[in-house]
Amino acid sequence: MIEIENVTKRFGDRIAVDNLSLTVKDGEILGFLGPNGAGKTTTMNMLTGYISASEGNIRIDGIDILENPEGAKKKIGYLPELPPLYLDMTVEDYLYFVSKIKKVDKEKRTKNIESVMRVVKIYDVRHRLIKNLSKGYRQRVGLAQAIIGGPEVLVLDEPTVGLDPKQIIEIRSLIRELGKKHTIILSSHILSEVSAICDRVIIINRGKIVATGTPTELAKKFSYSNKFVLRVKGNKAQILKTLEQVPNVQTVREQGVLEEGTVDVSVEAKKDADIRENLFRALSNAGLPIFMMKTDDLSLEEVFLQVTNAEKEVPINVSGI
């Protein structure tokens, strides 16, 4: 659906995007992440046709955005960080205005607008002035203008910025619903949100891709595969002593009590050693039931910090672009 091929963008001597290539599949929700100044917004502006690339090609459903900008833009709905709303218009009048700009067929216009208002749940406020709406409802109106005309691709830049927790949950749920009928590129600084919504994540830094994969794949790729967290029932001193005697165990650290009668413990193995079976047997033989054992996976936030703070970024491709 979206193809970005060897795209570079220069502003004078500064390279904002450096030979970037990626593909977004039809129906995929892609999280597009990067620190400030990484080239994320520049890439989104090129993707939507707001600015042109210095080099490379961008195609939307096979249509080159430079060769046929109108055809490509018809397939894109864009919600910038600050929704382009006219506050003195009613919701319905504003969406009719957007519909005209997007050249939606007159015979289909009313039906399309009504359908969109119902999808984003603003039908009940259609006659209200936008300036009298809450920030959450304004964000919904911004989403509505993006999907007017039924574009195949939605580009959403910080769609939940400034919203309260309840509004964030509502918009997040709405984006998931939209993902059933649209290909979506989502940019957000709320990484837990990206983990909850997106099928795949791309992290860019200094204009280049430094990591790509599903949130789970990224967590496993950058996590300490030889480190485990256990919750064990029994006497703390006995648990620690038993674990310290397991072959190939390097360190054992108590992590506190989260469940009565148990102890949470972090266990790190020597490099390339698989200690899971030995852990199970040692604790079983000592009569210490294991209530939980999991690898110490990193969160997406921790992965993000790892790949964007590295002195020399090495692109990591987990699942292929």
The pTM assigned to this predicted structure is 0.74
Instruction: Give domain status of residue 302, yes or no.
Output: no
* Residue pLDDT, tens place only, 63-112: 999 999 999 999 999 998 888 899 999 999 999 999 999 999 988 999 99
Instruction: Give domain status of residue 316, yes or no.
Output: no
Instruction: Give domain status of residue 314, yes or no.
Output: no
* Residue 244 and residue 143 share a domain: no
Instruction: Give domain status of residue 128, yes or no.
Output: yes
Tally the domains of the chain.
2
Instruction: Give domain status of residue 303, yes or no.
Output: no
* Residue 252 and residue 182 share a domain: no
* Residue 35 and residue 182 share a domain: yes
* Residue 169 and residue 24 share a domain: yes
Q: Which domain holds residue 276?
A: 224-296
Instruction: Give domain status of residue 147, yes or no.
Output: yes
**CB 307 within 8 Å of CB 198:** no
- Residue-level pLDDT at 312: 44
Helix-strand-coil split of the chain, %, nearest 5: 35, 30, 35
* Residue 239 and residue 143 share a domain: no
Pairing relation of β-strands 153-157 and 183-187?
A: parallel
* Residue 183 and residue 92 share a domain: yes
Instruction: Give domain status of residue 198, yes or no.
Output: yes
Residue 154, beta-bridge partner list: 77, 184
Residues of the chain with pLDDT under 50: 311-321
Domain boundary (220, 239, 259) is at 220
- Residue-level pLDDT at 319: 45
